[in-house]
Amino acid sequence: MTTTFNTMPPSALRRPTVRRSIIGVLAVALVLAMTGCSLVKLGYSQASALAYRWLDRYVDFDNEQSLKVRHALDDALGWHRRTQLPDYVQLLARAEAEVAADATPERMCAWAGELRSRIEPVLQHLAPTIADVARTLSPAQLASIEKRFAETNEEYRDDHLQRNLQRRLKAEVKREIERAEMLYGRLDASQRDLVADSVTTSPYDAEVAYAERRERQQDVLSLVRRLREGQSGRDDAIAQVRAYVSGIDRSPRESYRRYSERVTAHRCVLASQLHNSASAAQRHEAAKKLGGYRADARDLMGDAAS
């Protein structure tokens, strides 16, 4: 049933990032480790260290910044374990209960919204540290961020913008199938054909997504520059970060928002069709995986109390 993963933006589950931005990564392991990792407990326990290493590749923190960021990520993981995991347990229990029944596109879209709504609270919790560190970044660190953006953009182009359109389409079908098989296990031939047909008729355009990706990177850089160059105090800086992360899942550009809505609606249809085509064995596999994630979440909650 959580083929709802397919209703999320294409970048959401391909690599361990929620948004490929300095701010977005802070929710990575804290949120998605509970929904997409076969080693949930191990991944969750290492979430703060993984997020730090990811961030450091962009920023190249100095010693003082490093201590602040490490402490903030450790604190966020502890907060997340105490306050967010109980909600995850309930969410996974609902998903496990629903997986046996058929689903509509509307229900799949609702599940996608449920998943996305778990990202912002983590970022809001980290907003003070994001603001504090951003105000101390040096010109060399800004250049480091821009360089890393350029590197990841090149990787994105290699993965999603192949010049041969047939090759590009084939790669997209493969990604969609892999995401579905994370939950259901191996798809049969008719289900693979269903995915291929959906990708062929999808309004998703890798060129449009890439342009938005670059715009969002510039949004991040603009925010960081305002924070480090601004004359206002810490409270204003935190307010700016909070305002930014409150809209992190919604583009400030109306044309892209309309495009994204069309893509999401199409993916919701595919998600419901694929789920409704799932055999009893595939639904059992999905329920088993969701139950395993739920058990891991409960164990992690118990670890927090001990």
What is the DSSP track for 66-86?
Answer: HHHHHHHHHHHHHHHHHHTHH
pLDDT at 158 > cutoff 90:
yes
Task: Write the burial class of residue 250 (CB in 10 Å: 0-12 exposed, 13-18 middle, 19+ buried).
Answer: exposed
pLDDT at 16 > cutoff 60:
no
* pLDDT tens-digit readout, 113-138: 888 888 889 889 999 999 999 999 99
Mean pLDDT of the chain: 85
pLDDT at 47 > cutoff 50:
yes
Q: Which of 15-24, 79-88, 249-258 is the least confident region?
A: 15-24
Residue 99: predicted pLDDT: 92
CA dihedral over 245, 44, 159, 146, signed as positive or negative: positive
**What is the domain partition of the chain in residue ranges?**
19-305
Percent of the chain with pLDDT over 90: 66
Task: Write the burial class of residue 92 (CB in 10 Å: 0-12 exposed, 13-18 middle, 19+ buried).
Answer: buried
Residue 43: predicted pLDDT: 72
Residue 41: predicted pLDDT: 61
The confidence band for 45, taking pLDDT boundaries of 50, 70 and 90, is confident
Q: What is the DSSP letter of 5?
A: G
pLDDT at 283 > cutoff 80:
yes
CA dist 230 and 237 (Å) reads 8
CA dihedral over 145, 146, 149, 150, signed as positive or negative: negative
Residue 50: predicted pLDDT: 86
Average pLDDT over residues 228-256: 91
pLDDT at 17 > cutoff 70:
no
The confidence band for 40, taking pLDDT boundaries of 50, 70 and 90, is low
CB atoms closer than 10 angstroms to residue 15: 12
Contact present, 281 and 69 (Cβ < 8 Å): no
Contact present, 9 and 117 (Cβ < 8 Å): no
Q: Which of 23-32, 36-45, 252-261 is the least confident region?
A: 23-32
Average pLDDT over residues 184-211: 96
Per the structure block, which two tokens stand in for 56? 């450091």
**Predicted model pTM:** 0.83
Contact present, 277 and 187 (Cβ < 8 Å): no
Distances (CA, A) of 192 to 33, 60, 98, 174: 26, 43, 23, 9
pLDDT at 220 > cutoff 50:
yes
DSSP 106-165: HHHHHHHHHHHHTTHHHHHHHHHHHHHHHTT--HHHHHHHHHHHHHHHHHHHHHH--SSH
Contact present, 111 and 226 (Cβ < 8 Å): no
Distances (CA, A) of 287 to 94, 142, 270: 10, 45, 20
pLDDT at 187 > cutoff 90:
yes
CA dist 183 and 76 (Å) reads 28
Distances (CA, A) of 239 to 64, 117, 159, 161, 246: 23, 20, 36, 37, 10
